[in-house]
Amino acid sequence: MRTAEIRRRFLDYFAERGHHRVASAPLPTPDPTLLFINAGMVPFKPYFTGEATPPWDRATSVQKCVRTLDIEEVGKTTRHGSFFQMNGNFSFGDYFKEDAIRFAWELSTNPQDQGGYGLDPDRIWATVHHSDDESREIWRRVSGLPDDRIVARGDEDNFWSMGVPGPCGPCSELYYDRGPAYGPAGGPEVDEDRYMEFWNLVFMQYERGAGPGKSGFPILGELPRRNIDTGMGLERMASLLQGVDNLYEIDETRPILDHAAKLTGVRYGADHENDVRLRVIADHVRTGLMLLADGTAPGNEGRGYVLRRILRRAVRATRLLGYQDPALPELLPVARDCMSPSYPELAEEFERISQQAYGEEDAFRKTLKQGTTVLDTAVEKTKADGGSTLAGAQAFLLHDTYGFPIDLTLEMAAEQGVEVDRDGFAALMAEQRERARADARNRKAGAADTAALRTVLDANGPTDWVAYEALETESTVLALLGPAGPLPVATAGDIVTVVLDRTPFYAESGGQDSDAGRLTGTSAEAEVLDVQRALPGLVVHQVRVTAGELAPGDTVRAAVDAEWRTGARQAHSGTHVLHAALRQILGPAALQAGSYNRPGYLRLDFPWRGALSPTVRSEVEEAANRALRQDLPVGVRWMPLAEAKELGALALFGETYGEKVRVVEIGGAWSRELCGGTHVQHASQVGTIALTGEASVGAGMRRVEAAVGVEGFAYLARERDLVAQLAEQLQAPREQLTERVGVLLERLKTADRTINELRRKESMGRATELAAAARDIAGTLAVTTTIDGDGGSARELALAIRDRLPERTPGVAVVGAGAGPKGVVVVAVNKAAKEAGRSAADVVKGLLGGRGGGSADVAQGGGIPAADLATTLDGLPGLLG
């Protein structure tokens, strides 16, 4: 049975039993404690914790999940995979143990021609918590399992909680006996390879208190509403029903593995090390495909770094197997064909997905070429110095400068028999992160603790947010908070977090910056600096008190700066217009992958390989402004998510949507997106969109920037004035400016070449004279001089001087170049000097305090002020004497 069919049967079974079908949430999650969804229950977490009221009593889903904590183990065992799918059925205060157990047993054992999976009941084992006699009795009654196949286990295996105070409860798991070929008999406690777990039922019935780990915490009592959270591993069930050993061999991964084996000429099953690499390729290519599909882009931090690491591990595994050509163009289409029966959007979005993936591989191939040379040199030096551990600073340099992930450095160093100082690397990374956090704290001073905000939310309920309807409200200050917690009062100059009962301020989201404005009370004035949704339902304001005193309980007038909001509407609507124009000119692959807009400015990121030509940029700008001139109507509608998708509304990556969504249309279907931002009423109100920049922001990702509204007109006016000034200075008509500037630039290049050639000849003419005037320092003929040139000129002169020194006498030439603010020093020594133990690299490092490097023949260094060159070269006698 194919995996897509297993998936369909699961959803159909539970839908027929009153469960609401919930689509898989995107892998990137807004949960601040996670990078990606790592369990099927994560999207339902607010319902289990009581943070939100579930819209249904029963639900079912097949949730995409990614776990990367054990990424180094992928392929080494048949259990570890980074991407997997979790089939789940959930009850929110509705049915409990009896029905949950019955559902799992029926679907698992019902014959396949009756919609079930047809597992042999005589090969199924169940586990229960040792205290859960109720579940044991239900299993006996529902399934007829004998007592010896219902195994009692402890807290570590069969009790669930989130690891923090909140809901918890016993678990019951189902295992399938795969037979003696997989291990010894005796049940899951004896061997979990032979007895494969395929379903876990969590019975949330208690509330736990604080405590460590999976045990040792107090049970505070029964939950007022008992819940069910179950998870059936889709890949595990596919392994069982397809009669294969592991998740790498099911129909959604084996074709990728087989194609990798064909490309590399390696036979799967012949060699363990090669098998590991083939499994890494199969797993990581599929995982990369799914992350890209859900809007994650390769990057250097967070989710982007995880994706980059996964793609690069897959590429490197193919290279280690002997395949040196680009691998992802061969493998990614295979993964698409494997997964698209369950996720049709993969085929629809493949052009965008593949562009990003192939761009990342291209960048990595360049990184490998450059970084490998640096790493090999560092390893060689480490060994030459008698060491066996690569310095953490060197690993950090590879990561920070050359984009070499630390795991790649570890792998490649280990292959050459060298360890890496991971503690030193971690310390440098921690310093870098702390600097970044400090910068963020400086930008967001006064941020309040989440626990304190949770207390405010629990006590007062959600914020009455009226940003769509009003620019001004009369509001009550519910709380003042600083970094250390609640404050009784804030005075002039204080920056604090303010919670209001209702607010007209737009909270930063969906790429739109937060509103600016003021809070005005009878005894205080405050400037609103930032507005955020700190928790679901809670809007918080960062303010600077400018006069008087502000205290909880005060009544204030909360007023948005109307000019700011007008500009924000223009910029956000302009973003939608520019997005539609990009897709009109470039095609549907140019799908927005990130944006930011504020009054007068917008930027938009989209996947694309290569820079946009000036002609294409002009076409995009023209298409956008044509829409503004046509005064396309802007409409906003609320509707069910399924209906919005049926209409073709674009759901943008990185955003999380509920069952009811807000659809913003500009010109009807011309631009139709799910969006929570503020917008103009007619396209002409945007004013104008003037593209101001276009650049790369990562492999396969471009960014366009634009000035909007009044700022757009001002930008165009500045451009016009600049053109007028150039035309006047060059005494040329505007239409001939490009040609005239081109002629001038060519003249300047010719003049520069002539000047450099004259300088070179002058320097070469001096070489004989300088060599003849060499000083004898401790038996070595030495020449020092400075020139008004660059490093290349200095190197050429140093070599010329050296070659003019007597061959049989040790000689050294030192030339300093000071054409720029920083000086360059080049040292060249002859053969006799080398034989006498002189080294150019040692000399340049001695002169420059350890900086610089090169060979024994020629070396170069810099970093000192050009004005200090002469003094620096005066130190040569001390080095040679």
Q: Which residues are annotated as a binding site for Zn(2+)?
A: 572, 576, 675, 679
Cα–Cα–Cα angle for 33, 39, 42, rounded to 5 degrees: 55
116 alpha carbon, distance to own chain's centre: 39
The pairs formed by 422-425 with CB atoms below 8 angstroms and a separation of 24 or more are 422/392, 422/395, 423/392, 424/391, 424/392, 424/393, 424/395, 424/396, 425/392, 425/395, 425/396, 425/399
Kindly report the number of other CB atoms within 10 A of residue 300's CB atom.
12
Kindly tell me the burial class for residue 579, based on how many C-beta atoms sit within 10 Å of its own C-beta (0-12, 13-18, 19 or more): buried
Distances (CA, A) of 31 to 35, 38, 221, 595: 8, 11, 27, 20
Nearest to 204 by CA among 170, 165, 162, 164: 170
Which run of H or E residues covers position 706?
strand 701-708
Task: Mark the binding-site residues, compressed into ranges.
Answer: 572, 576, 675, 679
Dist CA 309 CA 316 (whole Å)? 10
Which run of H or E residues covers position 66?
strand 58-66
Contacts of 28 (CB under 8 A, 6+ apart): 35, 36, 294, 295, 296, 303, 653, 654
In this structure, what is the dihedral angle of CA atoms 795, 797, 800, 801, given to the nearest 10 degrees? -110
* Pairing of β 150-153 and β 124-129: parallel
Dist CA 866 CA 416 (whole Å)? 41
Kindly report the number of other CB atoms within 10 A of residue 475's CB atom.
25
Distances (CA, A) of 25 to 294, 351, 650, 771: 9, 22, 15, 75
773 alpha carbon, distance to own chain's centre: 61
Instruction: Catalogue the E-assigned strands of 192-268.
Output: 195-208, 219-233
**Count of residues in the chain:** 881
Dist CA 694 CA 672 (whole Å)? 24
Residue 727's SS3 state is helix
Contact present, 59 and 94 (Cβ < 8 Å): no
